[in-house]
Amino acid sequence: MNAPSSPPPNDPAPDGRPPDLLRDLSGPEDLKALADESLPALAEQIRAHLIDKVSAVGGHLGPNLGVVELTIALHRVFSSPRDTLLFDTGHQAYVHKILTGRQHRFDSLRQPGGLSGYPSRAESAHDVIENSHASTALSYADGVAKARALGGAGDRAVVAVIGDGALTGGLALEALNNLGSAPHRPVVVVLNDNTRSYAATAGSIPAHLAALRDGTAGGNLFEQLGFAYLGPVDGHDIGALQSALRRARATAGPVVVHAVTQKGRGYPPARADQAERMHAVGVLDPLTGLARTAAGRTWTDVFADHVTELGARHRDLVAITAAMPGPTGLSRFAARFPDRFFDVGIAEQHAVASAAGLATCGAKALVAVYSVFLNRAYDQVLSDVALHRLPVTFVLDRAGVTGPDGPSHHGMWDVPLLASVPGMRVAVPRDAARLEELLGEAVDDREHPTALRFPKAAAGPDLVALARTGPVDILFRSTVHEVLIVAVGPLAAECLEAGRYLADTGIGATVADPRWVLPVPRELLALAARHRLVVTVEDGIRNGGVGAAVARSIADTGLHVPVTTMGLPTDFLAHGARADILAAAGLTAKGIVHTVLCARADRPHPRP
């Protein structure tokens, strides 16, 4: 007997339920074929799909729930990939992935080998850029539009979707300045205005957007910059959005479509929690929005508690973040010391230069950002802080391997960058107790710029040192000094296990944690001189990292001790579990032992 056939995609199911509009949606052309009256049902099905899939594996939930209707309208009016759709930031592109035929892969979202949590050029021709960093899409749009004009393809639309939070970034303002000065070059800027980035959007630009929303603005910034302006438009009214986008497409020059949306739309736990918790989530109970498993006390939690204690002890301590007070651990500090906390918006360069200004007046400025986002402010770290020998402290969350956020978020580059900054001191805590200790030392340092880095992970148990020489902690030592394992921060536990195993097999090992890894402590060099081999282990890139600094310092002092460096390759590593990525790089106790054994077999006999 033949199985009953499925109902056509636009017809109701036999029991009266609305049709499954997502089932056969293989791309934008299928979306365009749907009747207008079916689009609200499609929007609700997309939201249900997002809640179901993201709650099971984790990901960016709130931002995507807010752009469902907007993304439907974009793909109804424009013809991707012929027309170029750019998403800034990429974490609001889940709906775009669904509408371009990837809805059946969401079970693998952010899993090893699975669907990326951001646009991915390898996944689809509809993904043009795969960055996840805010404020960049407008500059990409400027370049794409110039290329289209030069290639005689000016009829291919260029659309950049940018959030109001990302509009606070300096790069976005630079791009607006250039886009608005070219009235002959059509670019559609879709402003997704939900009044939030992670937290509430900060600065005068959101105040102007609020005035545009309520009709009280005395002027229009976008029109003054040379853009046509359409809006405000209800970002959840597909008909109104399509109408505005069609008008924008027909406009000869640059145009802004101001869409007002609600982050977390359609999901009560996300709407009730308009703070940061529902921006990016782990595995959830979809009914309650509560985490299914407790994460344990994270490195960020430890920092959050201790920086608040330091704020009580140091009345001149000022904390700065770039739009992420919660994720960087500064929310408690902000609540207790509101006059000494500044959220500058998505503007890392300004955060660092402003900290330099504070420091010139005697304040102790602390800048807390994700490790990978410090890359954006390298010039300010170098030329505005270090050149003036200002004691600004940088706290770098999400350092090393971040896991499911993938190549754009791994905090792998900070140590090589900071190693090139004159006078910079860098600390890497191995456990919660050392984080508190080193943070206190950094705040007390009034002569040098300092940096403290830690990963996105549970802090784990404290590892008590056997002894301390200068800043260097000895975690393990054999009676025979043959191999010195230099444990950098959170990899100390793996190094300690490796050292004990080597000792049990008759290979004398010492495990040392420098705590302050840059500049390389002279006490660590003295320790290296008493060993036949040095092996450094870190969760940043090997090229220019702590190991490279140790090897260079040993050579500079005239020691003839071979150094083997272990770390991450200089590559953009795919998303996956942090433990799996570290294991693939050999950064486990087993991998360390293997490296030591290979290095011992190949090493030349040291000079007497």
177 known ligand binder: no
Greatest extent of the chain over all pairs of C-alpha atoms, in Å = 88
CA angle at 400 for the pair 396 and 403, rounded to the nearest 5°: 115
Contact by Cβ (8 Å): 585, 514: no
Separation of alpha carbons 452 and 600, rounded Å: 33
Query: Phi-psi region for residue 16, left (φ > 0), alpha (ψ -120 to 50) or beta?
Result: left
User: Helix (H, G, I), strand (E, B), or coil: what is residue 234?
Assistant: strand
User: Tokens 């500049």 belong to which residue?
Assistant: 519
Q: Which of 366, 284, 296 is nearest to 333 (CA)?
A: 366
Question: For 215, how many CA atoms within 13 A lie in the half-sphere containing its CB?
Answer: 1
Give the closest residue to 403 by CA, choosing from 546, 298, 323.
Answer: 298
d(CA 276, CA 379): 29
Q: Is 368 annotated as a binding residue?
A: no
For 16-21, which contacts have Cβ atoms below 8 Å and span 24 or more sequence positions? 18/45, 20/45, 21/45
The answer on whether 164 is annotated among ligand-binding residues is: yes
Tokens encoding 253: 């020059």
* Residues labelled catalytic: 263, 348, 376
SS (H, E, C) 325-365: CCCCCCHHHHHHCHHHEEECCCCHHHHHHHHHHHHHCCCEE
CA distance 262 to 96: 17
Q: Is-cis flag, bond preceding 81, omega within 30?
A: yes
The rounded distance, in Å, linking the Cα atoms of 185 and 142 is 9
**Edge-first strand listing for the sheet containing 341-343:** 341-343, 317-321, 364-370, 393-397, 450-453, 425-427, 516-518
Q: What is the CA radius of gyration of the chain?
A: 27
Residue 132 is assigned to a ligand binding site = yes
Query: What does each C-alpha distance from 474 to 194, 223, 466, 533 come to in angstroms?
Result: 51, 63, 6, 16
Interstrand relation of 59-60 and 255-260 (parallel, antiparallel or unpaired):
unpaired
Neighbours of 436 (CB within 10 A): 18
312 close to 338: Cβ distance less than 8 angstroms: no
Q: The tokens of 424 are what?
A: 């910079």
* Contact criterion met (CB below 8 Å) for 49 and 62: no
How many Cβ atoms from other residues are within 10 Å of residue 130's Cβ?
19
Identify the burial level of 335 via C-beta atoms within 10 angstroms of its C-beta, where 0-12 means exposed, 13-18 middle and 19 or more buried. Answer: exposed
194 assigned to a ligand binding site: yes
91 has binding-site annotation? yes
Tell whether residue 140 is among the known ligand binding residues: no
d(CA 324, CA 1): 60
Q: Is the dihedral of CA 149, 153, 155, 160 positive or negative?
A: negative
- Cβ-based neighbours of 155, under 8 Å, separated by 6 or more: none
348 assigned ligand-binding residue: yes
| Residue list for the binding site | 91, 132-134, 164-166, 194, 267, 348
| Residue list for the binding site for thiamine diphosphate | 91, 132-134, 165-166, 194, 267, 348
